[in-house]
């Protein structure tokens, strides 16, 4: 954290237009939120997700895997190779697999079919290394291409409705030593953890803000987190069993959030403090 503050301070010194950071000492909640908002604005312009997205675009086009193929023929739901706006319509039901897939699980399907990269290899890879690092970069590229698009998840297929109901159940399911559910923190307005205000994911505004700003780059630890990583960490914070990467459990939760946020705006990749 100290490193980040130094960098922002340096940035202010160099830029004539930057506003001096306000580290409000008063207890006023509104002033505090405003200061955080200002800090977010300062970091938003230089979102390092751009760097990952640049590499991701390269990876999308470069042949890889046992079959030595690129991902350019990958169908993310809008036809083979169409990336623009695709992430805003995910998760969705894919007739070719007969499953509801989110961005990461769909990419794993493409990697397996086109490139011959086994699904399990990606699932077993440690976070932010090897196959998962490749995945992070490709995800960064694809969600960048949906920045500013409307969240538009098609809920007409019965499988999507099924997943929504499953996701809803999981959202309210209390578990772990603290007897926590997702709803414990994300089911009410005006909740916060430390200085981070928590969106109410059961409502449209909250779900749009939450779903629409992930995947994101976290400035405090210099890490890019995909939605799968984000969800995994929610389970970890719940102190419960961590879900399998790309499993139906994670996709169902994504369907629940995305559908609640339908009509909101994708501000991806986001940037978090």
Partner 1 sequence: MAGPMRIRAQVNGDEVNVRALMAHPMETGFRKDSSGNPIPAHYITEVIASVNGKTVLTAEWSGAISTNPYFEFDVKAKKGDKITLKWIDNKGESKEETVEVK
Which residues are annotated as part of the binding site for substrate? Answer: 230
The reply on whether position 174 binds partner 1 by CB under 8 A is no
Which of 24, 33, 51, 183 binds partner 1 (CB under 8 A)? It is: 51
Spatial separation of the C-alpha atoms in residues 84 and 256, rounded to whole Å: 23
Restricting to residues 208-227, name those near partner 1 by CB under 8 A.
219, 222
Restricting to residues 1-20, name those near partner 1 by CB under 8 A.
3-4, 6-7, 10-11, 14-18
The reply on whether position 55 binds partner 1 by CB under 8 A is yes
b/e string for 73-109 if b means 16 or more Cβ within 10 A? Answer: ebbbbeeeeebebbbbbbbbbbeeeebbbbbbbbbbb
Mention every residue, 6+ apart, whose C-beta is less than 8 A from residue 234: 182
Query: Which residues carry a binding-site annotation?
Result: 182, 186, 230, 234
Spatial separation of the C-alpha atoms in residues 56 and 145, rounded to whole Å: 11
The reply on whether position 133 binds partner 1 by CB under 8 A is no
Give the residue numbers marked as catalytic. 234
Peptide bond between residue 269 and the one before it cis (omega within 30 degrees of 0): yes
What is the smallest separation between the CB atom of 42 and partner 1, expressed in angstroms? 10
Nearest residue to 249 (alpha-carbon basis) of 238, 262, 235, 261: 235
Structure-block tokens of residue 268: 């991806």
Nearest to partner 1 of 106, 137 (CB atom): 137
Nearest to partner 1 of 53, 185 (CB atom): 53
Interface positions with partner 1 (CB under 8 A): 3-4, 6-7, 10-11, 14-18, 43, 45-48, 50-51, 54-55, 219, 222
């Amino acid at each position: 954290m100290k490193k980040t503050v130094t960098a922002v301070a340096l940035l202010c010194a160099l830029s004539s237009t930057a506003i001096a950071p306000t580290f409000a000492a008063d207890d006023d909640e509104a002033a505090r939120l405003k200061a955080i908002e200002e800090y977010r604005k300062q970091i938003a312009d230089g979102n390092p997700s751009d760097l990952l997205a640049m590499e991701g675009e390269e990876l999308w086009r470069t042949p890889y895997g046992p079959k030595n193929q690129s991902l350019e023929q990958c169908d993310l739901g809008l036809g083979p190779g169409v990336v623009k706006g695709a992430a805003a319509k995910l998760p969705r039901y894919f007739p070719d697999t007969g499953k509801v897939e989110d961005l990461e699980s769909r990419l794993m399907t493409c990697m397996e079919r086109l490139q011959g990269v086994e699904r399990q290899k990606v699932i077993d890879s440690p976070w932010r290394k090897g196959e998962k690092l490749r995945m992070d970069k490709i995800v960064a590229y694809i969600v960048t291409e949906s920045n500013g698009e409307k969240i538009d998840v098609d809920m007409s297929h019965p499988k999507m409705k099924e997943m929504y109901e499953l996701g809803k159940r999981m959202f309210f399911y209390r578990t772990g030593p603290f007897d926590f559910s997702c709803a414990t923190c994300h089911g009410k307005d005006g909740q916060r953890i430390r200085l981070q205000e928590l969106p109410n994911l059961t409502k449209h505004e909250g779900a749009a803000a939450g779903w629409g700003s992930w995947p994101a780059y976290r400035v405090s630890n210099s890490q890019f987190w995909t939605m799968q990583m984000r969800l995994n960490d929610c389970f970890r914070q719940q102190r419960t069993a961590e879900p399998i990467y790309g499993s139906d459990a994670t996709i169902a939760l994504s369907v629940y959030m995305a559908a609640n946020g339908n009509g909101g705006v994708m501000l991806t990749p986001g940037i978090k403090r």
